[in-house]
Amino acid sequence: MSAAVSAACQVGGGAGAEAHRMTSSAITASGLRKAYKDKVVLDGLDLEVAAGTVFSLLGPNGAGKTTTVNVLTTLMKADAGTIRVAGHDVATETKAVRAAIGVTGQFAAVDELLTGQENLQLMADLKGLDSGQSRRIIGDLLEQFDLTESAQKLSTTYSGGMRRKLDLAMTLVGKPKIIFLDEPTTGLDPRSRRTMWDIIRQLVAEGTTIFLTTQYLDEADRLADKIAVLDQGKLVAEGTPAELKRQIPGSHVRFRFTEVAEFDAALRVLPDATRDAEDDLILHVPSDGGAKSVRSLLDQLDAHSIDVDEFSVHTPDLDDVFLALTGRTSTKVEA
């Protein structure tokens, strides 16, 4: 607990706090607790999301991301803690909160017996849009999400990526000010993932606040103004992507050698190199991974006639974050 708090404070200071003072908060939560029977899932969570920004909750499977989203979006009651969303208290002004938010959950929430167009129409009707308005909005959304061609097909026939897109399009009907996206790109192919990222960026450009959960560090890095790392119901770090990355080992190049002699020689030639934790023929050398710096490393080894069996450039992922912040890898958390 104390380690977690100090890590959070350490990064929470600087630029993040400045930003809060200048902009209003879209979401504030303090002391969130939630347990299923005797299993504690959220253990005193504090969150603050500035209006018009992307906040990413990063964590492995089972960390409590979905539970956090459920609690923030009125789907579930927290056992303790206070939450304000769009300026309204979640417990006492539930209706006002619901009117202000849009939620795309982890699992697609589309009506499978309706077509894409009918699903959007259903949302427009429930939002009380008049028919002219809704026809225009639905047309625009279908276009934006590249679903116009499949609009008249039942959504059961959609691929996973299309269903996700329809799901998000349904969330956008009525232009909610704050949008929650629970692992919007998990299980998507690279192309659909990029489309999803573009859509998120466009929403932010229009002034929408986005609360995004993800298991991917690179996704949080690309999209978020602020990242909070969740581990077993507690925040273990919080800050801008740059602040967070300062805390974790950066990208590095991995060299594999065929013989111990060459490995030892390389270790002498490259002073920054460290041994791999498991494989004693592998070295890690901090590097930005760019062609120039990789070539210079290879040149140095070549100058000493050290043969490299293979090399790879490694950028930090969620595992590195967890190892650095908790001393465990996220895969262990999952197990």
Ligand X SMILES: Nc1ncnc2c1ncn2[C@@H]1O[C@H](COP(=O)(O)OP(=O)(O)O)[C@@H](O)[C@H]1O
3-class secondary structure per residue, 116-166: HHHHHHHHHHHCCCCHHHHHHHHHHHHHHCCCHHHCCCEHHHCCHHHHHHH
Q: Is 106 in the site for Mg ion (CB under 5 A)?
A: yes
Task: Name the binder of 73 from another protein, ligand X, Mg ion, none, CB < 5-8 A by kind.
Answer: another protein
What's the min distance (Å) between Cβ of 170 and another protein?
7
Q: Is 61 in the site for ligand X (CB under 6 A)?
A: yes
Q: Is 103 in the site for another protein (CB under 8 A)?
A: yes
Q: Is 267 in the site for another protein (CB under 8 A)?
A: no
- Report yes or no: 181 and 26 within 8 Å, Cβ to Cβ: no
Chain centroid to Cα 262, Å, comes to 41
- Report yes or no: 46 and 31 within 8 Å, Cβ to Cβ: yes
Q: Can you point out the beta strands (E) in 223-268?
A: 226-231, 234-239, 252-256
Task: Name the binder of 267 from ligand X, another protein, Mg ion, none, CB < 5-8 A by kind.
Answer: none
Only one of the segments 44-52, 65-73, 129-137, 307-315 lies at the binding site for Mg ion (rule: CB under 5 A); that segment is 65-73
Distances (CA, A) of 308 to 218, 275, 282, 285, 296: 29, 15, 10, 13, 14
- Quickly count: other Cβ atoms within 10 Å of residue 173's Cβ: 22
At residue 206, the 3 state secondary structure works out as coil
Q: In the set 64, 81, 239, 316, which binds ligand X (CB under 6 A)?
A: 64
Q: Is 67 in the site for ligand X (CB under 6 A)?
A: yes
Nearer to Mg ion, 70 or 195 (CB): 70
Nearer to Mg ion, 108 or 129 (CB): 108
Q: Is 107 in the site for another protein (CB under 8 A)?
A: yes
What's the min distance (Å) between Cβ of 273 and ligand X?
36
Interacting residues with another protein between 54 and 73 (CB under 8 A): 73
| Alpha-carbon gap, residue 165 to 25, rounded angstroms | 28
What's the min distance (Å) between Cβ of 107 and Mg ion?
9
Nearer to Mg ion, 25 or 66 (CB): 66
Q: Is 110 in the site for another protein (CB under 8 A)?
A: yes
| Alpha-carbon gap, residue 89 to 91, rounded angstroms | 6
Task: Name the binder of 125 from ligand X, another protein, Mg ion, none, CB < 5-8 A by kind.
Answer: another protein
Q: Is 41 in the site for ligand X (CB under 6 A)?
A: yes
Residues touching another protein: how many (CB under 8 A)? 26
- Report yes or no: 85 and 27 within 8 Å, Cβ to Cβ: yes
Half-sphere exposure (CA, 13 Å, Cβ side) for 131?
A: 0
* Residues that bind another protein in the complex, under the rule CB under 8 A: 73-75, 95-96, 98-99, 101, 103, 105, 107-114, 118, 122, 125-128, 154, 170
* Residues that bind Mg ion in the complex, under the rule CB under 5 A: 65-66, 106
* Residues that bind ligand X in the complex, under the rule CB under 6 A: 36, 39, 41, 59, 61-67
